[in-house]
Amino acid sequence: MHKTITCMISTMLISFSSFAATKLALNWKAESEFGGFYEALPFYKKQNLDIEIQEGGSGSPTSQMLMNESVDYAIVSAEEVVLSADRDAKRRLVAVFSVFETSPYMIMAHEGFESNKLSDLFQDSKQTISLQKGLPYVEYLLKKFAPIQAKIVPYTGGIGLFQSNQMMAQQGFITSEALLADQLNLKVKTWLVADEGFNPYITVLAVREDFLKKNRASVQKMVEATRQGWLAYLKNPKATNTLMNQKNPAMTMKMLELSLVKMQALMKFEPLALGQMKSERWQQLNKQMRELKLIKKDLKAEEFFQNF
Amino acid sequence: MKSRSDRLVIFIIYFGFFAAIEFLVTKDIVSSAILPKPSEILKLFWLDRSVLTTAFLQTAFSSVVAFILAAFLAFALGILIHLSDLLKKTAMPVALFLQTVPIIAIAPLLVIYFGFGWVTTLIAGIIVCFFPVLISTTTGLANTKSTEDELLQFLKASRLQKLIFLQIPNALPNILAGLKTSAGLAVIGVVSGEFLVGSGLGALIESSRLQQRVDFVFASLILLALLGLILMKSTEIIFTWLFKKYLIRK
């Protein structure tokens, strides 16, 4: 009886301690693009930060979770930071660290597609392109290549439909879907959306502006520990990859390794430090999203991010 | 008189609820990016009426067609199952499978089999609303009173005569209950299909969510609820009008 009560109290205490931890919400399951955050867990502890990483899933609304104060740190995209400022300026988000310097958004077609230009893909009436309308980069491409001859269908996730249809192209991440196609021995052509002129920061660590104002020192520690985590992960990812593989078995060790190789090419921040962002990139994104009529307000680039 | 006072109380409760939301968002206690003001949603219904009407009509049309097809198919299969034990043993596990597996898990497969078109949306709707009519039909047909059954046996009625003149009329109240459940479910199935196929209110909810337009999401949800209610109520009215004498007799 005593044991049962002790066990129940321990469980409750663990639960309460879990509530006390500061939450970092991911917008997807454990995979390479979050490797540095998992690697940073001991660095957070060294900085006296009690961080609990919460995995996300399909459509995890991490930006709204931040705005709603459900979490204090979350992984979002730069577009979500801009949208948050437009939708509710008082609870807007501030980006404090970016994993990708170059956006990994890409369009992928089968190698049989003859042209090397993405514009030709959108003008080919025989091609079907699977895109998730509403995503800013998709809206950008649809506007850039209008009028479009290819058939546009919704994106359903994964590469199942792409695999079964030689005349199908789709959206994705160069670090994920393109690798998956490679693993299935599919010969593909890929185009980075960044090369087409839309290059937002991706896998961005963000906080609420009011949280940043009140906890500036703590956020700075968080960013520094995160940077240390990423540097350590890039140097030796094996232990963290094993941990992420246990959390998300769909990502095999080989996939995690290959994904990291692809990521490294998109993580060249020099002369800035790893994770730091440029004002002109935010300005450009703000302008593009206004042109796409996704936002109404014209905000200053400096309001979107803070480098540490 | 009592019903009028009840209505007033209900109205006050709802009015108070929406007024509270309006107050909380206006005073910025709750973010408008998370919960839109009811007045903003009303404004949206007017300002973006063309987008909302187009999406509503697409979903409504698919839901009505899916519901009618499912109702007829389920009713026909219900009769066949009632007549054949072998068919019952064969078809019921499949029907149960389709009922228990969430449509959200089946929908991506439907896209692979039927492509990005209206057919996928329709089939998603049919799968979800098929089962209640099937079960209500088989249950209703089996619920024949023994005295009436004995009377028809005495009159040497054939199996078909017994089915048409006794069992189906007896089953009508059950079938109506099944149809009303299915009407609401048809909307759920169709919207699940639309999320993947990219049409109607389902696609509008998905793209609005990605652009943090919660006002559009709420407006679409209100339209979906309205559509479900219209379908359920009109089913009840039409069915009761068609089979009034059997339903009253029951």
**What is the band of B115 on the pLDDT scale with cuts at 50, 70, 90?**
confident
**What is the band of B183 on the pLDDT scale with cuts at 50, 70, 90?**
very high
Q: Do B111 and A161 touch (CB under 8 A)?
A: yes
Query: Within an 8 Å CB–CB cutoff, is residue B1 touching chain A?
Result: no
Query: Within an 8 Å CB–CB cutoff, is residue B210 touching chain A?
Result: yes
Q: Do B207 and A134 touch (CB under 8 A)?
A: yes
**What is the band of B60 on the pLDDT scale with cuts at 50, 70, 90?**
very high
CA angle A53, A55, A57 (to 5 degrees): 160
Q: What's the pLDDT at B222?
A: 96
Q: Do A63 and B212 touch (CB under 8 A)?
A: yes
Residue A154 and residue A130 in contact, taking contact as beta carbons nearer than 8 Å: yes
> Which residue has 């596990």 as its token pair?
B93
The Cα of B197 is separated from the nearest Cα of chain A by a number of Å equal to 6
Q: Do A87 and B32 touch (CB under 8 A)?
A: yes
| Residue B43 to residue B52: CA distance in whole angstroms | 12
pLDDT-above-70 percentage for chain B: 98
Query: Within an 8 Å CB–CB cutoff, is residue B197 touching chain A?
Result: yes
| Residue B174 to residue B179: CA distance in whole angstroms | 9
Q: Which of A91, A132, A157 sits opposite B33 (nearest CB)?
A: A91
Chain B CB contacts of A164 below 8 Å:
112
Q: What's the pLDDT at B221?
A: 96
What ipTM is given for this predicted complex?
Answer: 0.70
Q: Mutation target for A interface from B212, B215, B216: give the one with most A CBs within 10 A.
A: B212
Query: Within an 8 Å CB–CB cutoff, is residue B133 touching chain A?
Result: no
Helix, strand or coil for residue A305? strand
Residue of chain B whose alpha carbon sits nearest to that of A154: B198
Radius of gyration of chain B (CA): 22
Which tens digit of pLDDT belongs to each residue from B12-56?
999 999 999 999 999 988 888 889 999 999 999 999 999 999 999
Cβ neighbours for B113, distance < 8 A, ≥ 6 positions apart: none
pLDDT, mean of residues A144-149: 96
> Residue B221: exposed, middle, or buried by beta-carbon count in 10 A (0-12, 13-18, 19+)?
middle
Q: What is the 3-state secondary structure (H, E, C) of A42-76?
A: HHHHHCCCCEEEECCCCCCCHHHHHHCCCCCEEEE
Residue B80 and residue B248 in contact, taking contact as beta carbons nearer than 8 Å: no
Closest CA to B166 of A253, B158, A100, B116: B158
- Provide the CA A302 distance to its chain's centre, in angstroms: 21
Helix, strand or coil for residue A113? coil
For the entire predicted model, the pTM comes to: 0.82
Residue A198 and residue A137 in contact, taking contact as beta carbons nearer than 8 Å: yes
**What is the band of B246 on the pLDDT scale with cuts at 50, 70, 90?**
confident
- The whole-chain average pLDDT of chain A stands at 91
Residue A121 and residue A189 in contact, taking contact as beta carbons nearer than 8 Å: no
| Residue B56 to residue B115: CA distance in whole angstroms | 22
Q: Do A90 and B31 touch (CB under 8 A)?
A: yes
Q: Do B212 and A84 touch (CB under 8 A)?
A: yes
Which tens digit of pLDDT belongs to each residue from A113-137?
999 999 999 999 999 999 999 999 9
* Residue B148 to residues B78, B82, B157, B172, Cα–Cα distance (Å): 21, 18, 12, 16
Residue A96 and residue A306 in contact, taking contact as beta carbons nearer than 8 Å: yes
The Cα of B225 is separated from the nearest Cα of chain A by a number of Å equal to 23
| Residue A44 to residue A265: CA distance in whole angstroms | 26
Q: Which of B196, B207, B212 sits opposite A83 (nearest CB)?
A: B212
Preceding amide of B132 cis, omega within 30:
no
Query: Within an 8 Å CB–CB cutoff, is residue B34 touching chain A?
Result: yes
pLDDT(B182) > 90: yes
> Which residue has 């099944």 as its token pair?
B178
